[in-house]
A = this chain, B = another copy of it.
Amino acid sequence: MRTVSTDTITQSFIDYMGEDTDERTRVVLCSLVKHLHNFARETELTHDEWRKGLELLFAAGSISSPERNEFVLFSDVLGMSSLVDMMHSSAEATPSSVLGPFHVLGAPELAVGGDMRGDNDGEAVVVSGKVLSTDGSMIKGATLEIWQTAENGLYSGQDAAQPEYNLRARMKSATDGRYLFSTVRPAPYTVPEDGPVGELLRATGRQPWRPSHLHFIVSAPGHKTLVTEVFPSDDPYLDKDAVFGVRERLIMEYKPDTNHENLPDELAIKSKLADESFFTVNFDFILKTTSN
């Protein structure tokens, strides 16, 4: 070690590891450190730049709290979160996408056909689809957790004006795998820009917007839980999502619907919609079986 040099320090790190180190821990840390060292060598990273990086991490720690995790946001805007998501998505199932920081537990149960819109302003939307298994069957009783922003681009929890659990629900799919609910169209929004992630975005001329989306966690026994989002085809930020969350197969379409007669009877607000214009969205979820 007293002969350590810029060329040998990576090996020194590896040599320091005890023999009893868990094998996977060893593989992950050796790869991480090899890449960090190569980054420093490749860029001939200066002391000032190294200090700047540490400052950003310290600032991320300072602005983080149980309600806000700036490290997750760094991972998101650097593409790490989406890369990990994509690496573990299977081709036959619906792709996963970033969970984001706005999911909460305990949202109210809603029957198939129920209304999540309540008193929210905004364009009415009827969302429906099926939950399927990669084995081809429809999944009955799959749990869908659903959450989204209000028309102002804020989630309940971020916005004191919204009731607790506003635009959040849990639904069990019907016998034929169907789900169905009414809501309002969510809005695009920006990731938080008041911390070091905002500094990074500004320094690189990046826009902080995410396209509007509906969040879903879909789970069923015998299947891998799917954490995902679906995005409308006409969103202006679809090709520049600040957190790289969009996937071709997660794009859905808001279809203007004037045929009120066509709405299913389970739709709780069917009669209300008779006098309104509204959109319909259809999106099916395919869950990967875990039985091997």
Q: Chain B residues near A85 (CB, 8 Å)?
A: 47
Binding site secondary structure of chain A: helix
**Binary per-residue interface labels of chain A (67-98) against chain B in the complex, 1 for a CB within 8 Å, 0 otherwise:** 00101100100111111111110000000000
Q: Are B5 and A86 in contact (CB under 8 A)?
A: yes
Residue A122 CB within 8 A of the other chain: no
From the candidates B19, B47, B251, name the one contacting A2 in the complex (CB within 8 A): B251
From the candidates B25, B31, B44, B246, name the one contacting A1 in the complex (CB within 8 A): B246
Q: Are A12 and B244 in contact (CB under 8 A)?
A: yes
Q: How many copies does the complex hold?
A: 2
A sample of 13 cross-chain residue pairs with beta-carbon separation below 8 angstroms, ordered by A number, consists of A1-B244, A2-B238, A2-B251, A9-B244, A16-B204, A16-B240, A21-B203, A35-B39, A36-B78, A46-B84, A50-B81, A54-B72, A57-B61
Across the A-B interface, the 9 shortest Cβ-Cβ residue pairs? A18-B205, A61-B61, A35-B35, A35-B39, A57-B71, A1-B239, A17-B204, A9-B79, A50-B84
Chain A residues near B (Cβ < 8 Å): 1-6, 9-10, 12-13, 16-22, 25-29, 31-33, 35-47, 49-50, 54, 57-58, 60-62, 64, 69, 71-72, 75, 78-88, 200, 203-206, 238-241, 244, 246-248, 251
